[in-house]
Amino acid sequence: MLCLVAVVSSVWGCHRVEPTYVKVEGQMLGTFLTVSARTSRSSAEVYDLMMRIDREAKASMSIFEEGSLLSRVNNNETDLLDEHIIYCLNLSRRVSEQSGGVYDVTVGPLVEAYGFAAKDRQTSINVDSLLEFVGIDKLQVVDGRLQKADSRMKIDFNSIAKGYVVDMAARALEQWGIEDYLVDIGGEVRCRGVNAKGGAWRIGIETPFDGNNSMGEFVQQVISLTDSSMATSGNYRRYYLDDQGQKVSHTIDPRTGRSAVTSLLSATVIAPTCAEADAYGTMFMAMDLEQALLTARELEDEGVQVYFIAAGQNDEYDIYYSRSLADALATVDGYRAIE
C-alpha cells in the first residue's frame, strides 16, 4: 500500500504544470480583448473565463441589448437591480458629487438624441425638455429597487461599465490565484505584479488626433505600471460634424445638455480600480482645462493620477501630468507637472 501511494505521488509530481505566461486575444464588449497572465491554466481556459464575464456583463448593463437588465430598467419593465448596476450607480453618484454634476450617467436620453447610443440622430433636439429627466440625484435605490423621479429617465453606463468589467476580469483571475497579469479591454487596463520580463507593465497612450482609429499605432507616451488601473477618454474618435460644421462629441455636459467644449484632447487616469479610472476620464473630458487641472490636484490625494493632452498653439500639444506619476513616465521633458 505504501509503495502504491509513493508511485501515485510520483506520477502526479511529474505532471504538475508550472505557471507560465499565456496570452489571450479576442473580442469583448464589442471591442478588443488582450489578457497576459502567469498561470498554470491554459489560454483556452482563460479565454472561456473572459467570455463568461462578457456574457454576464452584457446581460446586466448593456444598453445595446434590449433584453439586458439595464435596458429593461430603462424601459420601466422592472425596477429590480443586480449587484453590478448597484455598484456602478453608487460609484457614479460619488464621481458626480466630486465633479459638481459634470459627470452624470443619466444623460442617456441626450446621448440617444445626439445619435451616440446605436440610435438615429434626431434632426431637432429640445435640450431643455430632455434636461428635465437628467440628474442622478433624481434616482434612489431602496432595497435593491430603483426609484425614478421621472419614468422617462434612463441610465447610460458606457462611461463606467467597460472599466468595471475589466475589474471583474481581474478579480476572476485573482480568484484563480493569479498574481501577475494584465487585462486590456478596448484600451482600458488593470494590471498586477510583473510582466514576462520581470518588470512593470508598459502601456502606451495614444496621440489624440482626429481620425486616429489605429488602436496603438501612434503612441505619444509610455507608462510603466503595476498594481494599478488605467483608462483614457478622448473625443478624437466618437464625434460628428453638425449642419453648421461644428464638432459634436460623445461627451455630453449634463449641466447644459450639449457637447462638452474643452481644449482637452485626451485624459488618461490611473486609479485603484478601472471603473474609477473610466468614470474619472469621462468626467475630466466634460470639464474645461482649468477645472480639470484643479480637480486633478484634489484627487491626487486619493491615489488618482492623470496625464492630460491638451490642444496648444500652432497645432502643438500641451502635456500635464500628476507629479506623483513622473517616475512611471518614459519622459517628462517639456511637460508640465500639476502643482
Better-scored residue on pLDDT, 96 or 215? 96
pLDDT at residue 11, as a whole number: 44
Beta strands in 8-135 (DSSP E): 20-28, 31-39
- 179: which residues sit within 8 A by CB, 6+ positions away? 38, 192, 193
CA atoms of 10 and 14, how far apart (whole Å) = 6
DSSP 8-state symbol, 20:
E
pLDDT, tens digit, 9 for 90 and up, residues 312-322:
888 788 999 99
Mean pLDDT estimate for the chain: 87
pLDDT (average), residues 233-240: 60
- 254: which residues sit within 8 A by CB, 6+ positions away? 101, 102, 103, 104, 106, 107, 110, 131, 134, 135, 286
Instruction: Report the b/e string of 153-192 with b at 16+ CB within 10 A.
Output: bbbbbbbbbbbbbbbbbbebbeeeebebbbbbbbbbbbbb
pLDDT, tens digit, 9 for 90 and up, residues 104-120:
999 878 877 777 644 54
Sequence length of the chain is 339
For the ranges 1-5, 16-20, 67-71, the lowest mean pLDDT is seen at: 1-5
Percentage of the chain lying above the pLDDT 70 cut: 85
Q: How far from 241 is each of 158, 212, 259, 288, CA to CA, in Å?
A: 22, 16, 11, 21
Contact status, residue 278 vs residue 164, Cβ threshold 8 Å: yes
Contact status, residue 173 vs residue 22, Cβ threshold 8 Å: no
* 266 Ramachandran zone, left/alpha/beta (phi>0; psi -120 to 50): beta
Q: Domains in the chain, ordered, with CATH? A: 180-338 (3.10.520.10)
CA atoms within 13 A of residue 25's CA, in its CB half-sphere: 1
Quote the cell numbers at residue 271. 486609479
CA atoms of 264 and 290, how far apart (whole Å) = 10
pLDDT at 7 over 60: no
pLDDT at 229 over 80: yes
Percentage of the chain lying above the pLDDT 90 cut: 69
Burial class (CB in 10 A: 0-12, 13-18, 19+), 50: buried
User: Which pLDDT band, with edges at 50, 70 and 90, does 208 fall under?
Assistant: confident
Burial class (CB in 10 A: 0-12, 13-18, 19+), 124: exposed
